[in-house]
Amino acid sequence: MKLLTINVDKCTGCRACEYACSFVHTGKFNPLDSRIHISEFLDDFVFIPSVCTQCEDAYCVSVCPTHALSKNKQTGVVDFDSDKCIGCKQCVMACPWGAIKLNHEGREIIKCDMCGGDPECVKVCQAKALEFTEVEDMVMDKKHRNAVKIKELVTEQQGVTR
Amino acid sequence: MIKGGYIGKILRVDLSNNKTGVEDIREDWARKFIGGRGYGTRIMMDEVDPKVDPLSKENKVIIATGPLGSTYAPSSGRVMVITKGALNGAIACSNSGGHFAPELKRAGFDMIIIEGKAEKPVYLWINKGNVEIRDASDIWGKNVSDADSIMKKATHPEAGTLEIGLAAEKLSLISNVTFDGHRAAGRTGVGAVLASKNLKGIAARGNLCVGVADNEAFAKAVYNARGILSKDAFSGGGGAALGTALLVNVINGVGGLPTNNAQDAYFENANNISGEKLAKDNLVRNEGCDSCPIACGRVTEIRSGKYKGNHGVGPEYEPIWALGSMCGVDDLNAVVMASYLCDDYGIDSISAGSTVACAMDLYESGYIPKEDVPFELKFGSPDSLVNTVKAMCEQDSEFGKLLAQGSYRLAEHYGHPEFSMSVKKQEFPAYDPRAIKGIGLEYATSNRGACHVRGYTIAAEVLGNTDRLTYEGKAELTKIFQDLTSALDSTGICLFTTFGLQGKEIAEMFEAATGIKCSVDDFMKTGERIWNMERMFDIKAGFTKDDDALPERLAKEPIKTGPSKGEVTDLNRMLPEYYQLRGWDENGIPKIDKLKELGIDDLV
């Protein structure tokens, strides 16, 4: 299964992802209609992207009284069917990440649908803070990056035997 | 009817009468002058007598965005401050990146016209189309990052802000306008103009959408442009890794890095203040402006020495040069510290560094009496640098006050204006015209005083294949770069995109966004129209061809060392040809036929 992965340390805070997201979903540019959001901390210049993590046992799905939200076992995405939505906003209150939200007019529920498997936000992220990768690849990559650090420590302590 | 890109509204704020009003964007002006720099200057032509005192209430300030702002067009978040500049009285368009421009558009306005003068310090809160003129007594007296956080706290944590610092409050003629506490419209003293109106800042926040005329064509044009940028050496990686400071070694490598107030143009210790050194010793991470794939912004800290523990943004290439080699200083931590001070107080670091260099030169030549200077002042001394910048920022001493007026006033005060490395009283930036001939013509003819970002001929003369030492073809080269930049500044896109993009790609994005038909030729013609309009403003303000001149040092004192050793420059080998190519008479005044051709003969 592929995941939208965030590398926090690479984000430059340019917010092109927010524009790309709103444009592909609404045909207009508005960060408030973006499913992904960049939180900016100007005191330290740290930028934190946040987006729906497509939970396996999602709070939003559990609280939705009309089954407008459901976990798609095939794609792994938490699907949202706006036709079934009554606008009760229980999902907005239930989501711990703030990943389900209201659009710029404050009426319509919006959430990340991973663009049907080809996320637009990833395409404009030159810094590669956002990537769309297989979960196993991401895990391997992290394991490897940590291993490299440990290896450096080991060779530093024991010297290189070659 | 314009189909996209613009919000369509201009906010007018009359500070004298505490009144605000809303006007429509004029379609005919949008078609002729685009937005940003072009449209803003057109407003100035209409409403401000070019002869007014820049710091009087008759001057106005236009804060302008472009039609590509608040979209995913690359690097499209530029905001422009257009006014009659405090430093020299020329038409000033000073611009900055950050996130203020798109926030202003979403709050309901493409532009703001600020006029009159408030009775006491105020700031504006523009929230979803509503405008409040608020008391700023608790922000007046604060530096820019504090002003930014106070305004964000009082309005909205994600509001975009504009603010002036302490340098502007004390009417320094080289003070800037800062955005979100850390990005600046640096040049021409625009900060002092806002201060003269008692306007400390603006906060903006909104929820409006920006639509474009043709979604499919726009997406295609934007992805094409982003693709090109991702393959260029600077915009596709070099800018993110090393920032603009990667130029230190490149420009010094051709012997074009002005050193010791341009006594030389080669700095032996350039390696010590290079982008590579900055990345190794000071860089924490890089930062991007709105929708920018280049992300050249530097987030930095000082990790050793007496300034250890300080942190901030930058420095870019220009401040590294101005506060570094121009002052003969190769201590990077001192340069970074001096740059932080400039940023904090809201002072233009190019003019600041060049003014320090001028002071060092005057002092070493014996023209500044020792009793005037409360500290040591000599080329190459990191302490001299930081102390002088501090005095300039704080303006607590007479000497500090003098420094804050820029190098021309300083040198004139001590009877030797020829020590000021400036054109039209504005300090020239980090490229030596003796080593790179075309940039000299650009400095001499720039409508806001010496400047590299009105027409960046360096792209061809150093980074491209044009011979930097020849005079031939430089008039045409300068004209092309100036026209292109005038148009692209008006769309709201950053000049740095032109490391990869040409007029064609930018015109395509503009056409798809607005629905205004725009070929490359149309785009360049629009740029030429804007350039000529700015020239008309300056002529009406009293500038003549005698002001299109370089400091005499560049003509008389050959470069002493390095790859361009022995070179001087001769502006007269380019200027007459430039006037002719521009369709101007021998006095540099646009001929009526040229103005008719450009459709601006009504401005005479």
Residues B27 and B105 in one domain: yes
Residues B415 and B451 in one domain: no
pLDDT at B270 over 80: yes
Asked if the structure places residue B1 within a domain, the reply is no
Residues B320 and B286 in one domain: yes
Q: Which residues of B touch A20 (CB under 8 A)?
A: 72
pLDDT given for residue B228 in this prediction:
97
Amino acid at B226: R
pLDDT given for residue A135 in this prediction:
84
pLDDT given for residue A162 in this prediction:
53
pLDDT at B34 over 60: yes
Residues 6+ apart with CB under 8 A from A44: none
Average pLDDT over residues A51-61: 95
Asked if the structure places residue B224 within a domain, the reply is no
Q: Which residues of A touch B240 (CB under 8 A)?
A: 12, 126-127
Contact residues, A window 21-40, toward B, CB-based 8 Å cutoff: 22-23, 26-33, 40
| CATH code of residue B384 | 1.10.569.10
Angle at which helices B36-47 and B474-491 cross, to 10°: 90
Q: Which of B394, B426, B458 is the last residue of a domain?
A: B426
* ipTM of the complex in this document: 0.93
CB atoms within 10 A of CB B53: 12
Query: Choosing among B148, B287, B298, B313, which should be mutated to test the A contact, i.e. which has the most A CBs within 10 A?
Result: B287
pLDDT given for residue B1 in this prediction:
82
Our CA dihedral for B414, B418, B424, B425, rounded to 10 degrees, sits at -30
Residues B443 and B576 in one domain: yes
Of B148, B219, B291, the CB nearest to A14: B291
Dump pLDDT digits (tens) for B450-488: 999 999 999 999 999 999 999 999 999 999 999 999 999
- Least confident span in A18-27, A131-140, B300-309, B354-363: A131-140
Asked if the structure places residue B218 within a domain, the reply is no
Residues B439 and B536 in one domain: yes
Question: What distance lies between CA B578 and its chain's CA centroid?
Answer: 23
Residue B126 to residue B112: CA distance in whole angstroms: 10
Contact residues, A window 39-58, toward B, CB-based 8 Å cutoff: 40, 42-43, 45, 47
Amino acid at B315: P
pLDDT at B547 over 80: yes
Residues B487 and B395 in one domain: no
Asked if the structure places residue B216 within a domain, the reply is no
Contact B361, B261 (CB under 8 A): yes
Residues B73 and B32 in one domain: yes
Asked if the structure places residue B136 within a domain, the reply is yes
Q: Which of B393, B426, B459 is the last residue of a domain?
A: B426
Dump pLDDT digits (tens) for B392-448: 999 999 999 999 999 999 999 999 999 999 999 999 999 999 999 999 999 999 999
Residues B404 and B489 in one domain: no
From the number of C-beta atoms within 10 Å of its C-beta (0-12, 13-18, 19+), residue B118 rates as buried
Average pLDDT over residues B351-372: 97
pLDDT given for residue A3 in this prediction:
87
Asked if the structure places residue B370 within a domain, the reply is yes
Dump pLDDT digits (tens) for A61-95: 999 999 999 999 999 999 999 999 999 999 999 99
pLDDT at B137 over 60: yes
pLDDT at B309 over 60: yes
pLDDT given for residue A157 in this prediction:
83
Q: What is the mean pLDDT of chain B?
A: 97
Amino acid at A34: S
pLDDT given for residue A160 in this prediction:
67
**Helix or strand holding residue A41 (H, E):** strand A37-41
Dump pLDDT digits (tens) for B514-538: 999 999 999 999 999 999 999 999 9
Question: What distance lies between CA B130 and its chain's CA centroid?
Answer: 30
Dump pLDDT digits (tens) for B194-225: 999 999 999 999 999 999 999 999 999 999 99
CB pair distance less than 8 Å for A127 and B149 = no
Residue A10 to residue B254: CA distance in whole angstroms: 34
Query: Choosing among B72, B232, B514, which should be mutated to test the A contact, i.e. which has the most A CBs within 10 A?
Result: B72
Q: Which residues of B touch A28 (CB under 8 A)?
A: 209-211
Domains and CATH numbers, chain A: 54-98 (3.30.70.20)
Q: Select from B252, B262, B260, B253 the least CA-distant residue to B556.
A: B262
Contact B512, B218 (CB under 8 A): yes
Residues B265 and B362 in one domain: yes
Residue B329 to residue B528: CA distance in whole angstroms: 40
Q: Measuring CA to CA, how many Å separate B8 from each of B96, B112, B548?
A: 22, 12, 37
Asked if the structure places residue B223 within a domain, the reply is no
Contact B96, B311 (CB under 8 A): no
pLDDT at B334 over 90: yes
Q: Which residues of B touch A9 (CB under 8 A)?
A: 285
Residues B421 and B438 in one domain: no
Structure tokens at B16: 């004298």
* Chain B residues in contact with chain A using a Cβ-Cβ cutoff of 8 Å: 70-72, 74, 99, 106, 145, 148-149, 158, 180-182, 207-212, 215, 219, 223, 226, 229-230, 236, 240, 284-295, 297, 299, 313
Domains contained in chain B, number:
3
| CATH code of residue B533 | 1.10.599.10
Residue B397 to residue B403: CA distance in whole angstroms: 10
Asked if the structure places residue B236 within a domain, the reply is no
Give the strand pairing for B9-14 and B19-24.
antiparallel
From the number of C-beta atoms within 10 Å of its C-beta (0-12, 13-18, 19+), residue B521 rates as exposed
Q: Which range marks the domain in which residue B507 is found?
A: 432-603
Dump pLDDT digits (tens) for B8-31: 999 999 999 999 999 999 999 999
pLDDT category of residue B174 using cuts at 50, 70 and 90: very high
Q: Which of B386, B407, B426 is the last residue of a domain?
A: B426
Peptide bond into B315 cis (omega under 30): yes
pLDDT given for residue A155 in this prediction:
86
Residues B308 and B437 in one domain: no
| CATH code of residue B69 | 3.60.9.10
Residues B559 and B589 in one domain: yes
